[in-house]
Structure 1
Amino acid sequence: MKYASITDRLADLGGAKWKVHFEARKLRAEGRKIIELTIGEPDVPTPDRLIDAATAALQQGRTGYSNGRGEAGLLHALTARYGQRRGRKFTPQQFLCLPGTQTVLYLLFAALTEAGDEVLVADPMYATYEGVIRASGATMVPVRLLPENGFRLQAADVAAKITPRSRVLFLNSPHNPSGAVLGRDDIAALGALARQHDLWIVSDEVYEDLVFPGVAFHSPLDFPELADRTIAAASISKSHAAPGFRSGWCVGPEEFIARALPLAETMLFGNQPFLADATAAALAAPSDVAPGMAARFQHRAQMLHQRLNGVAGLRVTLPQAGMFALIDVTASGQSGEAFAMALLRAKGVAVMPGESFGPGLAGWLRVSLTRPDEDIAAAAEAIATFAQEQVPA
């Protein structure tokens, strides 16, 4: 039997990256005590006001078909939110509502790229980025992020990778897995490159509300001169502790949205009205939970840094946002995957190997900060002990 080429392009991009996570779940099911620091799920339940809004919408019969663009109330809430935050006017015609950021990104690359095109993306990157790029037939062109630059994408490094086939500059700030946040000057320099080479800018901004105290968030949407080439994606999964709602959106030029709408309608002809109503309620006011999460995640990153940085050659980078911290374990002489799997089996601590996020993070670990302080402290002690045991006698 014959299969479409997309199945070959994506064949090695599925669950293999989550091997340590799945092994941890298996061990826990067998009765082993595991501190799971692999995935980035909010550490608080979805706020009552979102549950109440969704419940009220269900009770009011908001269970019918929607339109392909999004419910009017949600489009109005998005227009108001982006106008207030970006300091310029937006219209409802600049938005598409879809079930989560992952679906949005699949749509964007399907609408912007095809076989022969290239997408410039930071390395390391979120584990599914390669898949949403490859799905369209485009080629991913990784641009290395360096710890000495704070894992912030540098315009000069991007410029060195641009070719006549380059079509999209894919940004992620705040960045997963590093927690780095691009500064205004960083974005201005990257935007100048995009204009010079006629590149689209796709910006994953799902962690916008989880910047740590004292850190400023900037978006290419802040720059009017980039408005005709920037499409941003986000959702309420992180900011409002509602990952199961699967409610996301993209914002971009009206012409792009009009051209992408038929494609979106072939994927899902309108998302659920009751979830749209809950999302509109979420966006109508500042998040109830994001400030607390950001403060806790920053504190937990500092806990890891204080306990582990310098122990047996470990190096912990302090994030500026998001749900994760990175640990450099190259001094152990092991890959991140080998270290993570051995740590899980020896100490019952599950973390993600850096290799799951690209070759730029080989020999590193990504540690979720979404467990309680006592779990983070216990994990730090276990990692320290394990790392010291790896040092040759």
Structure 2
Amino acid sequence: MKRTAITRRLAGLGGAKWDLHLRARELAAQCRDIIELTIGEPDVPTPPELVEAASDAMRQGRTAYSSGRGEAGLRRALAEHYTQRTGREIAADQVLCFPGTQTALFAVLLGVAEAGDEVLVGDPMYATYEGVIRACGATMVPVPLRPENGFRIAAADIAERITSRTRAILITTPHNPTGAVLTTEDLEAIGQLAQLHDLWIVSDEVYADLVFDGSSFRSPLSHSGLAERVIVASSISKSHAAPGFRSGWCIGPGEFTRNLLPLSESMLFGNQPFIADMTEKAVREGSSVASGMRDRFSARAALLTRRLADESRLAVHQPQAGMFAMVNVAATGMNGRDYALDLLNRAGVAVMPGTSFGATMTGWVRVALTIEDDGFNTACDRIIAHANAIREDVA
């Protein structure tokens, strides 16, 4: 039977990038002692008050069809939230609701690019970005994120890759996997390029509430001069420890969201009303768990940085935000994928190869900061012992 072009474009993407994580789960199911540091699962359960809000809404009959835009109360709450966050007036008709950031990004990319177009994105990148870009038929153009620039995407590197086919710049701030946070100056320089070349800026901001002390978050949506070309995607998955509820959104110019609505309705026709009610409560009241996660993730990143520097030849890029730290494993003489497989098989610690996030990360792995402190300390012990064993083997 014939396959469609989109299935060919997406071959090898999606779940294939998570094969090491899946292998770790298989070993754990065989009763192997595995410490899992692979995915960005919050280290606390969804707050009970949000679970109860969803349950109450279901009991009250909030299980009927939704508006294609999303429930009116949630869209008003998001408009008010982003008005306060950005200092710009954001209206409810600039909001579309989706089941999670992933779906929002999929729809948004279909709304800004198509076959023959190009989308610029930092390398490394979140593992699904290549898929959402390929899905719309566009070509992904990687922009190297340099360690010496703190892994922040640089306007000069973007400028070198803009062509007549470029339609959008996809940014992530705070960044996954590196934890970098773009500065106001970074965003202004990117915005100038977007204005000069008439480009969209798509900003994935799912980690905006997980910025560590000493850094501050700013969205390109705050820049009034970019009002007609910035689209933000986010969700409550990270900020409210609610990834399984799949509740996200995009915020963009009113004309863009109106034009995207038929696509959204063709895909989904809105999210579940009872989840929308829970999300409205989450947005209006803020997160009861974000500050604790920020403190714990920051402390674990500092611990990992200190211990690997003192006790091994591995080097950590200390993140400014998020749930992960990148570790440079080049000193082992192994590439990141071989290192991650060896670490899993010999030490029982599962981390993600850097190449799951881009071609520039051959000598790196991503370590999740999301397990409890005792387990994380044990993982550090194992990583250090494994690295030193490799050194002895080579010697």
Distance 1:113 1:171 in 2: 15
User: What amino acid sits opposite 2:357 in the alignment?
Assistant: F
Q: CA deviation at 1:16?
A: 2.2
Match of 2:231 in 1: 231
| Residue of structure 2 in register with 1:153 after alignment | 153
Given residue 159 of structure 1, which amino acid in structure 2 is its aligned partner?
A: A
Q: Displacement, 1:375?
A: 1.2
Query: CA separation in 2, counterparts of 1:267 and 1:311?
Result: 51
Structure 1 CA distance for aligned equivalents of residues 13 and 320 of structure 2: 28
2:51 paired residue number: 51
Contact 1:119 1:139 in 2 (8 A): yes
Give the drift of 1:46. Answer: 0.5
1:19-77 CA distance string (max 9 Å, x none): 21111101110010110000001000101111111111111100000110010110111
| Deviation string, structure 1 residues 115-162 (Cα, Å, up to 9, x no partner) | 110000000000000000000110000000011100001000000010
Q: Which runs of 4+ in 1 moved over 2 A?
A: 309-313
**Structure 2 letter corresponding to 1:96:** L
Q: Does 1:301 align with 2:301?
A: yes
Deviations 1:193-239 (A, max 9, x none): 00001000000000000001221101100100001000000000000
> What RMSD in Å do the two structures reach over aligned CA positions?
0.8
Do structure 1's residue 192 and structure 2's residue 192 form an aligned pair? yes
Match of 2:30 in 1: 30
Q: 1:214 and 1:49 mapped to 2: Cα distance? A: 30
Amino acid at match of 2:92: P
Letter aligned with residue 151 of structure 1: F
Question: What amino acid is aligned across from residue 326 of structure 1 in structure 2?
Answer: M
Give 1:312 shift: 4.2
Among all aligned residue pairs of Structure 1 and Structure 2, give the percentage whose two residues are the same amino acid: 59
> Could you list the runs of 5+ residues in structure 1 that have no partner in the other structure?
none
Confirm or deny: 8 A CA contact 1:311 1:387 kept in the other structure: no
Cα distance in 2 between the residues matched to 1:19 and 1:197: 39
User: 1:63 corresponds to which letter in structure 2?
Assistant: T
Equivalence for 1:92: 92
Q: Distance in 2 between matches of 1:386 and 1:98?
A: 43
Q: Which residue of 1 aligns with 2:390?
A: 390
2:137 is equivalent to residue 137 of structure 1: yes
Paired AA for residue 42 in structure 1: P
Greater shift, 308-317 or 121-130, is seen at: 308-317
Report what 2:257 is aligned to: 257
Residue number in structure 2 paired with 1:116? 116
User: How far 1:286 sits from its partner (Å)?
Assistant: 2.0
Aligned residue identity for 2:47: P
* 2:320 alignment partner in structure 1: 320
Per-residue CA deviation, residues 79-100 of structure 1 (Å, 9 max, x unaligned), is 1101111111111110000000
How many corresponding residue pairs? Answer: 393
- Tell me if the contact between 1:221 and 1:230 (Cα under 8 Å) persists in the aligned partners: yes
Instruction: For residue 178 of structure 1, give the secondary structure of its aligned residue in structure 2.
Output: coil
The letter of the residue matching 1:347 is: A
Amino acid in the other structure paired with 2:125:
M
User: Please, what TM-score do these two structures have when normalized by structure 1?
Assistant: 0.99
- Structure 2: distance between partners of 1:205 and 1:165: 26
Partner amino acid, structure 2, of 1:71? E
| Shift of residue 310, structure 1, vs aligned partner | 5.9
Counterpart of 2:70, as a letter, is: G
Which position in structure 2 is the counterpart of 1:268?
A: 268
Which residue type is aligned with residue 303 of structure 2?
M
Q: Supply the distance in 2 between the matched residues of 1:23 and 1:47 (Cα, whole angstroms).
A: 30
Partner of 1:178: 178
Quote the offset at 1:112 in angstroms. 1.0
**Structure 2 stretches lacking a partner, 5+ long:** none
Q: By how many angstroms is 1:15 displaced?
A: 2.3
Cα separation, 1, equivalents of 2:41 and 2:183? 26
Residue identity opposite 2:365 in structure 1: L
For residues 161 and 130 of structure 2, what CA distance do their matches in structure 1 show? 17
Who is 1:330 aligned against?
A: 330
Q: Does the CA contact (< 8 Å) of 1:312 and 1:331 recur in 2?
A: no
